[in-house]
Amino acid sequence: MREPGPRVGTPGPATSGAGAPRLGRPEEGGHLVNAKAIVVTSGKGGVGKTTVTANVGAALAKLGERVCVIDTDVGLRNLDVVMGLEGRVVFDLIDVFEGRCKLRQALIRDKRVETLSLLAASQTKDKSALSEARMQDTVRALLHDEGFDRVIVDSPAGIEAGFRTAASAVEGALVVVNPEVSSVRDADRIIGLLEAREIHEVRLIINRLRPAMVKRGDMLEVDDVLEILGVKLIGIVPEDERVLVSTNVGSPTALDDGGSKATAGSAFRDVARRLRGEDVAYPDLDTSRGVFAGLRRLFGGR
């Protein structure tokens, strides 16, 4: 088994069109993720894990799946706010772990999409209250007893107890990365730790891409990130001010139908469709290779 640490990325195919990032072709089987329990992680804080969790969960629910999203950032919960459900939290994940309520009592059903539910983190406990065994029991009960099709776990930043608990009960992972050096470096570390846990259905979401910055050579290009990390791409989410607006009002932008394919909401909906095995084309982004192309050597890539 590969040691959890810096890894050599796998180069992708050449550019498929003028100005478009070299996204690569899906391997046989496409983007389909068979895992029913998926962790959203990154290592580095502030890259958009919670936004990805809320929006991919909402998009999957709109496609007809019964989805439960779980916040494991004990003491610093935010997923309820992003989803606009903070006023309805009565019981939380730690209440379930410690037997103060039944699992069903802690689930909050979204009124906009009835097949979407939230299990919130505790604001008053610390990470010492987390338990890998209880997390595994909870996820198993959600899938087998409560009948959810998919459980998406929002992991806290870092690689300590929060990450270990979030990753303990899953079979797949969405690694969220911003196209900048420190984020890619932390993602590389996280991918190694996921592999060490034998979580093999790992997909990459490049979040907050700014094509104009890439074109100027001020931001890592998509194919550079792919080459460094060597995992399958499943989504490219552009920087979009509508994400901030949607977070402030508590309504995932993936629920807003229509609009340009170049919006974050459309990108999140595309991620959900790819997770289910659909062949969804990536929109062309007006980028060209910049000065960051050589940075892959810092990570052992070519």
Q: How many residues does the chain have?
A: 302
Instruction: Please say if the pLDDT value at position 26 is more than 70.
Output: no
Buried/exposed 268-292: b ≥16 CB within 10 Å, e otherwise: bbbbbbbbbeeebebebbebeebeb
Question: What's the whole-number average pLDDT of the chain?
Answer: 85
User: CB under 8 Å to 302, separation ≥6 — which residues?
Assistant: 8, 9, 11, 227, 296
CA separation for the pair 161, 99 (Å, rounded): 21
pLDDT at 234: 97
- Among 174, 233, 202, 141, CA closest to 54: 174
pLDDT the model gives residue 285: 62
Q: 284 pLDDT exceeds 90?
A: no
Quickly state the pLDDT bin for 20 (edges 50, 70, 90): very low
Give yes or no for residue 219 having a pLDDT over 60: yes
Rounded to whole angstroms, the Cα distance separating 179 from 35 reads 26
Angle at 184 between CA 171 and CA 44, to 5 degrees: 70
When comparing pLDDT for 46 and 69, which is higher?
69
CA proximity to 150, closest of 232, 80, 75, 62: 62
Q: Which two tokens stand for residue 132?
A: 């890998």
Token pair of 214, please? Answer: 């890439």
How many CB atoms within 10 Å of residue 267? 25
Please give the average per-residue pLDDT across 101-123, as a whole number.
Answer: 96
Q: Is the pLDDT of residue 276 over 60?
A: yes
- Ranking 30-39, 102-111, 197-206 by mean pLDDT, the lowest is 30-39
CATH class of 37-299: alpha beta
The one-letter amino acid code at 154 reads D
The predicted structure's pLDDT at residue 129? 84
Residue 244's pLDDT band (boundaries 50, 70, 90)? very high
Contact yes or no for 298/181 (Cβ under 8 A):
yes
Question: Which token pair is 120?
Answer: 């919130």
**What is the average per-residue pLDDT within 68-83?**
93
Closest CA to 114 of 61, 55, 150: 61
Distant-in-sequence, close-in-space partners of 191: CB < 8 Å, separation ≥ 6: 7, 175, 202, 229, 230, 231
pLDDT at residue 19 greater than cutoff 90 = no
Residue 291 above 60 pLDDT? Answer: no
CA separation, residue 236 to residues 5, 178, 186 (Å): 24, 10, 18
3-state helix, strand, coil in the chain (%, to 5): 40, 15, 45
What pLDDT, on a 0 to 100 scale, did the predictor assign at position 286? 58
Mean pLDDT score, 80-108: 96
Cα(11)–Cα(253) distance, integer angstroms: 32
Has residue 58 got a pLDDT over 70? yes
DSSP state letter for 70: E
Of 126-140, 186-200, 210-224, 279-293, minimum mean pLDDT range: 279-293
Angle between helices 222-229 and 181-196 (to 10 degrees): 30
| Confidence (pTM) | 0.85
Average pLDDT score over residue span 150-161? 92
Q: Does pLDDT of 121 surpass 90?
A: yes
Question: Which contiguous run of DSSP H or E holds residue 57?
Answer: helix 49-62
**What is the model's pLDDT at position 28?**
35
Confidence check: pLDDT of 185 > 80: yes
Query: How many angstroms separate the CA atoms of 212 and 223, rounded?
Result: 16
Residue 30: predicted pLDDT? 66
